[in-house]
Amino acid sequence: MNDPCLILNDSEKYLSNTNNRFDLTFMDPPFNQNKEYRSHQDNMEAEHYWEWLKRICERIYERTSPGGAIYFMQREKNAHRVMEALDSSGWTFQNMIVWKKKTSAVPETFRFGKHYQVIVFATKGKKPRVFNKLRIDPPLLVTEKYARPNGMYVTDVWDDIRELTSGYFAGDEPLRFPDGKRVHNQQSPIALLLRIILSSSKVGDMVFDPFAGTATTLVVAYQLQRHSIGIELDPVNVEFSRKRLLNIRPSDLITRYLNEYRYTENLLDLWPKIDPENYTLIKSTAYQAALLEQEGDYKIDEE
């Protein structure tokens, strides 16, 4: 059983009281840009904000298995603060991943336009307990004459994953209200979490997301047969996430990305076979029943 566990709670409070152990964490907190959130004030004093994130990093570290990994995503201008938060809480730096966006750069008046976010990959200890070297086969550059016989290894520059842009250019993947507005404007794409979970976990591992948002981490982890726990403070996000987990949409299926990783040597060990047409049939009866119960009973903890 690898049923996802979605918990309505404050992440710091949850981490102070849980005995769960994590093998991989994806951490994508609010960026403190004074954005509008239903259940969070996004204009904290800078020092309070980073002290808060440092405490969360420390508590995740304490509950992470030896060699376990964390991927901490942030704005490029805060890269040094992410490094400080992780280093001071015990994590060992492995990579600073540049997630290059596919849309136009954010223009600037007196500096270069901004075109990426950073994702810092760190581990508990010098060596990861799991690191799967994925191979992809992106389109050839104009300077490349011959097709790659076995693709290429994924590097620390990810320029092949499209972000979920604003408006309807993002397609069907973002969750939306009946009027078309997005439930969460910063929803992470399935493809991003797929790469992270494939790279730093194996079947049966526990994946943790302290800022679960619309549960993309849990959706991907479930399809890859990883256990997962997501903490989310916003009841609206939790309600939409509950429905998303119960009825996996075509736009949430990871099988559409399988061909991109076809040259990865041990792919069948990392990616359990799932028949998309019969996907709903493989869910356990207990899982469906749990999600259909009233709030407070379907793995939602409001303490």
Tens-digit pLDDT profile for residues 186-221: 889 999 999 999 999 999 999 999 999 999 999 999
Lowest-pLDDT range of 86-90, 150-154, 281-285: 281-285
| Of 17-26, 122-131, 174-183, minimum mean pLDDT range | 174-183
Q: Name the least confident of 37-41, 127-131, 287-291.
A: 287-291
Average pLDDT over residues 148-155: 94
Quick one: pLDDT at residue 30? 84
pLDDT for res 37: 65
User: What is the average pLDDT score of the chain?
Assistant: 85
Q: Is the dihedral of CA 10, 189, 27, 222 positive or negative?
A: positive
Higher pLDDT, 108 or 194: 194
pLDDT at 84: 97
Q: How many CA atoms lie within 13 A of 48 on its CB side?
A: 6
Query: What region does 34 belong to: left with phi over 0, alpha with psi -120 to 50, or beta?
Result: left
Rounded-to-10 torsion of CA 117, 184, 176, 100: 0
Q: What is the mean pLDDT of residues 225-233?
A: 95
In order of their start, the domains of the chain are 5-292 (3.40.50.150)
pLDDT tens-place string over residues 272-301:
865 545 444 334 433 433 443 333 333 333
Model confidence at 150: pLDDT above 60:
yes
Q: What pLDDT, on the 0 to 100 scale, is given for residue 272?
A: 85
Query: Is the torsion defined by CA of 98, 75, 193, 70 positive or negative?
Result: positive
Angle in degrees, CA 189, 26, 112, rounded to 5: 65
- What pTM was computed for the model? 0.87
